[in-house]
Amino acid sequence: MSAEIVDGKKIAEKIRKNVAFEIQKLKLKYNIEPNITTIKIGNNPESNIYLKLRDTACEKVGIKPKNIELPESVSEEEIINLISRLNEDKKVHGILIQFPIPKHLSSDKLINTLNPKKDVEGLTPLNMGKTIVGDEYIVPCTPLAILKILEEEKIRLQGKDVVIINHSNIVGKPLTALFLNRNATVSVTHVFTKDLKKYTIGADILISASGIPKLINKEHIKPDAFVIDVGIIKTSDGVTGDVDFESVKNIAGKITPVPGGVGPVTVACSLVNMAKTFRNCMEK
Ligand code: NAD
């Protein structure tokens, strides 16, 4: 039997409706327009595509996006000064740094400068720490999107065997915490894992975010597993994910497609976090 294909666009639409309502409520209460500012450094084509999608989504929920574009050659000191000014500016209700950033800049230093109250991506040590200890507030957008998908599909996580292929700060690490907070049993695998299949074959829920096309095929999948493909890879045939969709769809129970799966839900979750930082700034 063929797997059920999860409709990320539909889930994203539902999330956007709730965010639009929340933003409207805050605007009326405080009589102010939200100002969410993105710092974009250099000219990465994939970032440009993502920002275009995100800015359109912002408009749909009543947020006018503001992007500050800096040249590739900008110094770390200049960006840190900019972030500090935005931190202090009462008219700014949220800040994002668009990654990837040029190699001469330290992402840790930039993230550590952000005011956690305005940290839309939940990447500051305070927000990340809160996620780890189970006091989830501003959770990184992609892990939050994965959680929302599982919630929408009514998957109970307690006791489930979950395998994550990714150990990055924006995906694998916070996602591990979210699953542990819900009493799932989590295995985290990555590029140095000796035998990937040994882990994936036992997964009730498999999340793949390696960025390697067709890393995962039917040999890796437990029958009826829920397969969540986070990978976004541009190839000459268009955008693809980590999972060999045609092979895996005949064995998985549910599968998220690429495009149209995790991607749109991640954009919608970015809006969820914008509403949170907007509220943070107005209420405290
Ligand atoms: P990253 O390079 O920081 O992390 C990649 C991870 O994959 C690492 O943990 C690495 O060890 C692991 N990996 C690489 N090759 C592997 C292999 N052969 N076997 C097992 N593990 C392997 O990248 P990232 O920023 O975490 O993003 C990962 C992928 O997810 C990319 O394709 C990116 O475009 C995509 N992504 C998608 C969304 C979305 O909204 N859908 C959001 C963020 C990232």
CA-to-CA distance for 198 and 229, rounded, in angstroms? 19
CATH 3.40.50.10860 domain range(s) in the chain: 32-115
Estimate the crossing angle of helix 45-60 against helix 8-30, to 10 degrees: 60
Integer Cα distance of 140 and 107 in angstroms: 15
Domain 32-115 has CATH 3.40.50.10860: yes
Residue nearest to atom 31 of ligand 1 (CA): 211
Q: How far is the CA of 60 from the centre of ligand 1 (A)?
A: 29
Q: What's the CA gap between 236 and 50, in Å, rounded?
A: 19
Q: What is the mean pLDDT of the chain?
A: 97
Residue nearest to atom 42 of ligand 1 (CA): 142
> Ligand 1, atom 4: nearest CA belongs to which residue?
168
Percent of the chain at pLDDT > 90 equals: 95
Q: Which of 137, 83, 136 is nearest to 107 (CA)?
A: 83
Domain with CATH 3.40.50.720 in the chain: 141-263
Sheet holding 94-97, edge to edge: 64-70, 35-41, 94-97
Q: Best substitution site from 98, 166, 215 to test ligand 1's pocket, by max atoms within 8 Å of Cβ?
A: 166
* Dihedrals phi, psi of 172, to nearest 5 degrees: -65, -45
Nearest protein Cα to ligand 1, atom 16: 191
Pocket (CB within 6 angstroms of ligand 1) = 142, 165-168, 170-172, 189-191, 193, 196, 209-212, 215, 230-233, 262-263, 266
- 161-202 pLDDT, tens digit per residue, is 999 999 999 999 999 999 999 999 999 999 999 999 999 999
CA distance 264 to 273: 15
**Mean of the pLDDT values across residues 279-284?**
90
Query: For residue range 197-228, what is the model confidence (pLDDT) as tens digits?
Result: 999 999 999 999 999 999 999 999 999 999 99
Ligand 1 mutation target, pool 47, 191, 267, most atoms within 8 A of CB: 191
Q: Is the dihedral of CA 169, 173, 179, 181 positive or negative?
A: negative
CATH number, domain 141-263: 3.40.50.720
Q: Cα-Cα-Cα-Cα dihedral of 204, 159, 181, 119, to 10°?
A: 10
CA of 234 to the centre of ligand 1 (A): 13
* Token pair belonging to 192: 């140095």
pLDDT tens digits, 46-72 = 888 889 999 999 999 999 999 999 999
Which pLDDT score is estimated for 284? 65
For Cα atoms 42, 47, 49, give the angle at the middle one, nearest 5 degrees.
130
Residue 59 confidence (pLDDT): 96
Residue 256 reports pLDDT greater than 80: yes
Residue nearest to atom 22 of ligand 1 (CA): 191
Ligand 1 pocket test: pick from 51, 230, 235, 272 the residue with the most ligand atoms within 8 Å of its Cβ: 230
Q: How confident is the model at residue 237 (pLDDT cuts 50, 70, 90)?
A: confident
Percent of the chain with pLDDT over 70: 100
Report d(CA 222, CA 203) in Å as an integer.
Answer: 6
- Distances in whole angstroms, Cα of residue 109 to Cα of each of 31, 69, 83, 124: 35, 19, 11, 10
| pTM for this entry | 0.97
